[in-house]
A = this chain, B = another copy of it.
Amino acid sequence: MTDVGDLAAFAELDLGRTARRGYPEAIYCEGKTPSQVGAIAAAVRGRPDIVTLFTRASAAHAEAVLAALPDARHDADGALLAWPPTPPVATGGLVTVVAAGTSDLRVAREAELTARYLGRPTELVVDVGVAGLHRILARVADLRRARAIVVVAGMDGALPSVVAGLVSAPVVAVPTSVGYGAAFGGLAPLLTMLNACAPGVAVVNIDNGYGAGHLAAQIAAPA
């Protein structure tokens, strides 16, 4: 039988990933104990040449990371930590993140920060749901400046269809678990987005701001 006592027993860090794919390492904190996350944080301390993101970090996770990497940037709105704290110089096209409602903010923020730490310039547009179309119509010129747009929405998830019909950039849609009853934890907006009647919409997992920001950064990468 194996002895399950140290880092090697529960995680094989993949620091060659930056070289292989050109993007940061990300540690998904949920489902890991704070002490596991802390051990990983300590292990990356020797590699300031690589950006490391800690996503979906609870307060306890954040504390463990900051113990090992005191100067890490902690964005509580996005439940995310980044180290080294300063994002790379922005290159490539603009990534704009659009959130339908206030309650979608955590996910939207996670998407924006991820794209920013992958090196893109970013903007955030909040509370422009389709129940009041004038709000999104007022932002069309802003949206058309983007090379990739992340649209975050819960409940009816109708916003990506509307946005995709107004721009020619690709739209990455993120359903959120905001809502209740027949929202079924985000299933409703997920299905809405998969059936978007406007072409140019792709979907990531419910609440997956990290994945959306990552994809948008890849789309908007410099040629």
User: Which residues of A does B touch, CB under 8 Å?
Assistant: 1-2, 4, 9-12, 14, 16-17, 20-23, 26, 28, 30-32, 36, 56, 77, 87, 93, 100-103, 105, 109, 112-113, 116, 122-124, 126-135, 137, 155-158, 161-162, 164-170, 172, 175, 177-208, 210-212, 214-215, 218-219, 221, 223
Query: How far, in angstroms, from A190 to B127 measured CA to CA in the complex?
Result: 24
> Assuming the A-B contacts A23-B168, A126-B10, A168-B22, are A189 and B195 also in contact, with contact meaning beta carbons closer than 8 angstroms in the complex?
yes
> Quick one: which of B11, B155, B179, B191 contacts A102, CB cutoff 8 A?
B11
Check A192 against B191 for contact (C-beta < 8 Å): yes
Check B124 against A4 for contact (C-beta < 8 Å): yes
> What is the chain B residue whose CB lies nearest that of A135?
B12
Query: How far, in angstroms, from A16 to B26 measured CA to CA in the complex?
Result: 37
> Assuming the A-B contacts A32-B103, A194-B204, are A12 and B127 also in contact, with contact meaning beta carbons closer than 8 angstroms in the complex?
yes
Q: A26-B199, A158-B161, A181-B205 are in contact. List 17 more A-B contacts (CB 8 A).
A: A1-B113, A4-B77, A10-B105, A11-B126, A23-B200, A131-B196, A156-B197, A179-B195, A180-B205, A181-B185, A181-B186, A181-B194, A181-B206, A183-B205, A188-B194, A194-B205, A202-B203
> Assuming the A-B contacts A133-B165, A158-B156, are A194 and B198 also in contact, with contact meaning beta carbons closer than 8 angstroms in the complex?
no
> Assuming the A-B contacts A102-B32, A201-B215, A203-B204, are A17 and B192 also in contact, with contact meaning beta carbons closer than 8 angstroms in the complex?
no
Tell me which of A56, A128, A178 has the highest count of chain B C-beta atoms within 10 A of its own C-beta: A178
Question: Can you spell out 13 A-B residue pairs with CB atoms less than 8 angstroms apart?
Answer: A1-B116, A4-B124, A10-B102, A10-B127, A11-B127, A17-B132, A130-B197, A131-B196, A133-B162, A133-B166, A156-B193, A172-B202, A199-B211
> What is the chain B residue whose CB lies nearest that of A208?
B181
Residues of B within 8 A of A181 (CB): 175, 177, 185-186, 190, 194-195, 205-208
> What is the chain B residue whose CB lies nearest that of A175?
B181
